[in-house]
Amino acid sequence: MELTSYHVDAFTDQLFKGNPACVVQLGEWLADDLMLKIAAENAVAETAFFKKNKDSGDYSIRWFTPDLEMDLCGHATLATSFVIDMISKEPLNEILFNSASGELRVVVNNGLFTLNFPSRPAVPSTIPRETYDSLSIKPLEVFKARDYLLIYESQQQIEEIAIDRNLFDMVNMDPGGVIITAPASEPEVDFVSRFFTPQSTILEDPVTGSAHCTLIPYWSARLGKRIMTAKQISPRGGTLFCEDCGDRVLISGTARLYSRSTLYL
What is the C-alpha separation between 33 and 18, in angstroms, rounded? Answer: 28
Together in a domain, 154 and 64: no
pLDDT of residue 175: 81
pLDDT of residue 55: 86
Q: How confident is the model at residue 62 (pLDDT cuts 50, 70, 90)?
A: very high
Q: How confident is the model at residue 254 (pLDDT cuts 50, 70, 90)?
A: very high
pLDDT of residue 255: 98
What is the C-alpha separation between 61 and 261, in angstroms, rounded? Answer: 20
Q: Count of CB atoms within 10 A of residue 167's CB?
A: 17
What is the C-alpha separation between 58 and 106, in angstroms, rounded? Answer: 11
Instruction: List pLDDT tens digits, range 110-163.
Output: 999 999 999 999 999 999 999 999 999 999 999 999 999 999 999 999 999 999
Q: What is the pTM of this model?
A: 0.94
From the list 2, 28, 41, 46, the catalytic residue is 46
User: Which residues partner with 250 through β-bridges?
Assistant: 116, 243
Together in a domain, 20 and 76: yes
What is the C-alpha separation between 115 and 87, in angstroms, rounded? Answer: 19
Together in a domain, 149 and 164: yes
- Check pLDDT > 90 for residue 102: yes
- Check pLDDT > 90 for residue 242: yes
Together in a domain, 96 and 142: no
Instruction: List pLDDT tens digits, range 68-96.
Output: 999 999 999 999 999 999 999 899 999 99
pLDDT of residue 57: 86
Together in a domain, 69 and 101: yes
Output the CA angle 155-156-158, nearest 5 degrees: 65
Amino acid of residue 224:
G
pLDDT of residue 53: 93
pLDDT of residue 178: 98
- Check pLDDT > 90 for residue 54: no
Going by DSSP bridges, is the β-strand pair 141-144/148-151 parallel, antiparallel, or unpaired? antiparallel
What is the C-alpha separation between 120 and 146, in angstroms, rounded? Answer: 8
What is the C-alpha separation between 81 and 104, in angstroms, rounded? Answer: 11
Together in a domain, 100 and 199: no
The parent domain of residue 52 ranges over 2-118+252-264
Together in a domain, 53 and 89: yes
Domain count, the chain: 2
What is the C-alpha separation between 250 and 244, in angstroms, rounded? Answer: 7
Together in a domain, 158 and 198: yes
Q: Is 160 a catalytic residue?
A: no
What is the C-alpha separation between 4 and 150, in angstroms, rounded? Answer: 39
Q: Are 217 and 121 in contact (CB under 8 A)?
A: yes
Together in a domain, 163 and 237: yes
What CATH number is given to the structural domain containing 107? 3.10.310.10
